Amino acid sequence: MISANPTHALAANMVAHIEESMATKKRVLASDPGVLGRIAEIVVAALCRGNKILFFGNGGSAADAQHLAAELIGRYRRERAALPAMALTTDTSILTALANDYSFDIVFARQIQAFGRKGDVAIGISTSGNSANVLRAMETAKAMGLHTIALTGEGGGKLAGLVDVCFRVPSSSVSHIQETHITVGHALCDVVERELFDNRGDA
């Protein structure tokens, strides 16, 4: 049955979604902030050493990976020098060749073998924490001496036991997990710029 005021009903549904998303983020603030601090510490230290950040994930998480890499290479809020970051989700020739010739499970691991160096940071994004290609990539990264960070949902999945730091969004809703991941990613970009470029002459 069509509502007598469909515009109002649709708006109410959208507001409800936004309120649920905000509630998820508030639960993040109420949880242990030390995890966020540790992630920022690892990323800032790596960039200060001249190492790079490698982002990867599937679907919406792939979009987040390239979004965050672009923020570091370009700018977030400040005009400053470019920072070394890569999304392992963007080269269709690499992705399709590896998936076709080997297995989709190794599309990120193989790229880490090619581009990763000891001291770099691998950031895997998976709402379930169980994406096979993200798990394989983290195993490879650990073996090569990269720092490993995961952004997941509330359970953490298998990723939680594989990485140095796992940020678990306290939600089982995929959409709200993804919305929180990009918020945390933006907060990380802001901290990176503040730590590396505030009160310095090379911005």
For residue 28, give the nearest of 150, 149, 124, 154 by alpha carbon. Answer: 154
In 4-146, the DSSP E strands lie at 53-57, 85-87, 121-125
User: Is the distance from CB of 86 to CB of 53 less than 8 angstroms?
Assistant: yes
Look-up: residue for tokens 């690499």?
94
pLDDT digits (tens, 9 = 90+) for 50-94: 999 999 999 999 999 999 999 999 999 999 999 999 999 999 999
* pLDDT at residue 98 greater than cutoff 50: yes
Residue 118 lies in a domain: yes
Residue 148 lies in a domain: yes
- Per-residue pLDDT at 200: 58
- Per-residue pLDDT at 203: 47
Single pTM value for the model: 0.93
Task: Give, to the nearest 10 degrees, the angle between helix 174-197 and helix 6-30.
Answer: 60
Residue 2 lies in a domain: no
* pLDDT at residue 2 greater than cutoff 70: no
Query: Mean pLDDT in the chain?
Result: 94
Residue 75 lies in a domain: yes
d(CA 148, CA 135): 11
Binning pLDDT at 50, 70 and 90, where does residue 1 land?
Answer: very low
Q: How many domains does the chain have?
A: 1
> If you ran DSSP here, which 8-state letter would residue 56 be given?
E
- Per-residue pLDDT at 154: 95
- Per-residue pLDDT at 8: 85
Q: Which residues span the domain enclosing 31?
A: 9-197
Binning pLDDT at 50, 70 and 90, where does residue 199 land?
Answer: low
**Paired tokens of 45:** 């230290």
Instruction: Give me the CATH number covering residue 181.
Output: 3.40.50.10490
Residue 109 lies in a domain: yes
Residue 203 lies in a domain: no
For residues 9 and 41, the model is more confident at 41
For residues 105 and 202, the model is more confident at 105
pLDDT digits (tens, 9 = 90+) for 127-152: 999 999 999 999 999 999 999 999 99
Residue 3 lies in a domain: no
User: Is the distance from CB of 169 to CB of 152 less than 8 angstroms?
Assistant: yes
Amino acid identity at 18: I
Residue 87 lies in a domain: yes
Distances (CA, A) of 20 to 143, 180, 192: 39, 11, 28
In the chain, the DSSP E strands lie at 53-57, 85-87, 121-125, 147-152, 165-168
